């Protein structure tokens, strides 16, 4: 009887042991599954669920935007906005103005505070006028984004200029030449108002005899093309002329590589395809609007400005062609002064992303010096 009871207890113990081992295996599997489970991907940007084309990518221009087959544009950067007002760091005052109600063309203007003299704020009279065109590959960013609002505050304070930062329309909703046409209209609006108003900051504080055009990347491309147009179409309104043109890491490209430019076929093809997207195929990659090096020397001489400054960054794909631009302008017989500034070891428009970096501070000093010099 005792032996039988012992056998039953042994079987029961074995069964319990098997159940415990099985439970341990189940718990281990659950632990491993949870550990290796990947979180779900972020949801796709909202679209029109009734339109199947609203989720089909027509053109991927990452990291800037994605265009869907339905025509919907999803911008991946440069969409935030900040209001105008008084900048606490610099004392610069900004305001927004509408230039053309029919198209929405607008600008953000910047006015530096009175200069400090002998411990007191003193109004030193009329200031140079800067018309600035923002970058962003013609497809993102704005005169109202934090990136450019902060940069124009810094420039206006350091160089002591009245600045007009142009809010031109973007591709692909408005492909080139829309940005050029908007910029030309805004430039002439600034010139007319500096001459006779009614915009008071330009009329009362701006010095039209010291007019500067500037921009970074795509905006530098625009600034160059505005200066060329002024020289080939009879000048700006009222006979005004630009004192200087400042091109910051300009966006220029072409079919054939220049010295030092990448020869990688895939990389060059990427720039060609995205340029065609920006302009809807209207301008080839060798058109002078994107490749000024395709112009003969006689056309270079039409650039309407007394001075041109070109800045480049050492790690920028656009650096070699920007340097070739400066050399071609200098060698063309153009009757003006060419300056060049280079920052080693930095990428495209680094100074926007790292404004407090010593290299950015140094480049800002160069910019201010160019704009401040009579």
pLDDT tens across the length of the chain (374 residues):
445 555 565 565 666 565 666 666 565 554 444 433 333 333 445 555 668 888 999 999 999 999 999 999 999 999 999 999 999 999 999 999 999 999 999 999 999 999 776 555 555 589 999 999 999 999 999 999 999 999 999 999 999 999 999 999 999 999 999 999 999 999 999 999 999 999 999 999 999 999 999 999 999 999 999 999 999 999 999 999 999 999 999 999 999 999 999 999 999 999 999 999 999 999 999 999 999 999 999 999 999 999 999 999 999 999 999 999 999 999 999 999 999 999 999 999 999 999 999 999 999 999 999 999 87
Question: Could you give the C-alpha distances from 74 to 177, 246, 273, in angstroms and in order?
Answer: 22, 31, 19
Question: Tokens in use for 25?
Answer: 């295996």
Active site members: 217, 316, 348
CA gap 235, 292 in Å, rounded: 19
Burial of 149 (0-12, 13-18, 19+ CB in 10 A): buried
With tokens 């160019």, the residue in question is 370
Q: Of 62, 59, 87, give the one whose Cα is nearest residue 75.
A: 62
Please check whether residue 219 is in contact with residue 187, taking contact to mean a CB–CB distance below 8 angstroms.
no
DSSP β-ladder status, 305-313 and 120-122: unpaired
CA gap 77, 79 in Å, rounded: 6
Give the phi and the psi of residue 25 in degrees, each rounded to 5: -65, -45
């Amino acid at each position: 009887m005792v032996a039988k009871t012992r056998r039953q207890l042994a079987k029961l113990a074995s069964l319990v042991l098997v159940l415990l081992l099985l439970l341990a295996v189940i718990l281990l599997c659950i632990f491993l599954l949870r550990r290796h489970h990947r979180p779900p991907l972020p949801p796709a940007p909202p679209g029109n669920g009734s339109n199947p084309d609203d989720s089909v990518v027509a053109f991927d221009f990452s990291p800037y935007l994605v265009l869907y087959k339905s025509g919907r544009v999803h911008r991946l950067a440069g969409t935030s906005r900040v209001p105008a007002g008084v900048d606490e760091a610099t004392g610069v005052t900004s305001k927004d103005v509408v230039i053309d109600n029919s198209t929405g063309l607008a600008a953000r203007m910047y006015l530096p505070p009175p200069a400090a003299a002998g411990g007191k704020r003193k109004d030193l009279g009329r200031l140079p006028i800067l018309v600035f065109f923002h970058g962003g590959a013609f497809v993102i960013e704005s005169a109202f984004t934090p990136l450019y609002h902060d940069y124009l505050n810094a420039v206006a304070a350091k160089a002591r200029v009245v600045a007009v930062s142009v809010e031109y329309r973007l591709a692909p909703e408005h492909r080139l030449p829309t940005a050029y046409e908007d910029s030309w209209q805004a430039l002439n609006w600034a010139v007319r108002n500096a001459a006779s108003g009614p915009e008071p900051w330009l009329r009362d504080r701006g010095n039209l005899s010291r007019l500067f055009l500037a921009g970074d990347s795509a905006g530098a491309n625009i600034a160059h093309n505005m200066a060329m147009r002024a020289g080939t179409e009879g000048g700006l309104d009222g006979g005004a002329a630009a004192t200087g043109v400042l091109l910051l890491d300009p966006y220029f490209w072409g079919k054939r590589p220049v010295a030092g430019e990448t020869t990688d076929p895939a990389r060059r093809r990427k720039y060609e395809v995205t340029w065609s997207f920006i302009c809807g195929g209207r301008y080839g990659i060798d058109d002078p609007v994107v490749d000024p090096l395709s112009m003969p020397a006689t056309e270079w001489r039409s650039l309407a400005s007394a001075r041109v400054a070109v800045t480049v960054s050492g790690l920028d794909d656009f650096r070699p062609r920007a340097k070739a631009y400066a050399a071609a302008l200098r060698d063309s017989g153009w009757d003006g002064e060419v300056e060049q500034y280079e920052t080693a070891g930095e990428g495209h428009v680094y100074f926007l992303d790292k404004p407090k970096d010593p290299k950015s501070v140094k480049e800002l000093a160069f910019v201010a010096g160019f704009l401040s010099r009579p």
